[in-house]
Amino acid sequence: MIELHAIERRYAMSGQTVRALDGVDLAIARGAFVALTGPSGSGKSTLLNVLGCLDRPDAGRYALDGVDVQALDDEASSELRNRRIGFVFQSFHLLPRLSVLENVLLPLRFARVPDPQAGARAMHLLERVGLQDRVDHRPGQLSGGQMQRAAIARALVLQPALLLADEPTGNLDSKSAADVLALIGEVHAGGQTVVLVTHDADVAGVAQRQIRLRDGKIEHDSAH
């Protein structure tokens, strides 16, 4: 599903070049559950952002389902992202003035899914994450675990083939973290591909495959 070849991402920082990704080769099969681990600054978020078409590599090749991603212009790239990829972030990124339901409806509105169908789809996802009693709440009225479950509902509402999660349990207490990880495990069990960034070995252990980065390179891959 995912093929990366010789991926480079560099930043210029006060006259120095930071190699956030320094020659990454990686293949991830459809339906895989992968954890990206490694110390702070090793390139995990950068790699996730490249996978999610939020960031473009400076060199190398990225193919997603056979589509040559770097050949796409910005519009085609965001189209691909909206259609195929769901994102979950450590800090949830919910819109605070919208209700939980309205947050989950947003991707459906952008995709121009007609109203009754969109409402049914959003409610279905909110039931799946156990928030059917919280749909009219604002994010600020929820616990961290509930906010993350709302964010997961939003990420999944267009049925993306690929779910990308950047430290999804980083701001959660251990009970909420376990709930969120169980939910992500169910996403994988349902056949979607999941790539999870974490610096927590216990969290990484729930994935089938662990890939450890250091200094922008793959230092260890449990599949090899």
Q: Which DSSP helix (H) or strand (E) runs through 41?
A: none
Rounded Cα gap, residues 148 and 113, in angstroms: 24
Cα-based distances in Å from 73 to 48, 55, 68, 145, 151? 19, 12, 11, 36, 28
List interacting residues with ligand ADP (CB under 6 A).
Answer: 11, 13, 18, 20, 38, 40-46, 89-91, 93, 166-167
- 8 Å CB contact between 87 and 52: yes
CB nearer to ligand ADP: pick between 38 and 139? 38
Give the up-direction half-sphere exposure of residue 123: CA atoms within 13 A in the CB hemisphere.
Answer: 8
CB nearer to ligand ADP: pick between 91 and 159? 91
What radius of gyration, in Å, describes the C-alpha atoms of the chain?
17
Minimum distance of ligand ADP from residue 207's CB (angstroms): 16
- 8 Å CB contact between 100 and 137: yes
CB nearer to ligand ADP: pick between 38 and 107? 38
Minimum distance of ligand ADP from residue 116's CB (angstroms): 32
CB nearer to ligand ADP: pick between 129 and 151? 151
Dihedral sign (CA 153, 155, 157, 159): negative
Minimum distance of ligand ADP from residue 115's CB (angstroms): 30
Minimum distance of ligand ADP from residue 150's CB (angstroms): 14
- E-strand ranges in 66-143 read 67-68, 85-89
Q: Which structure tokens are listed for 18? A: 């930071």
Residue 172: alpha-carbon gap to chain centroid: 17
Beta bridge partners of 108: none
CB nearer to ligand ADP: pick between 64 and 88? 88
CB nearer to ligand ADP: pick between 121 and 167? 167
* Selection from 162, 38, 126, 143 nearest residue 92 by Cα: 143
Minimum distance of ligand ADP from residue 168's CB (angstroms): 9
Minimum distance of ligand ADP from residue 118's CB (angstroms): 25
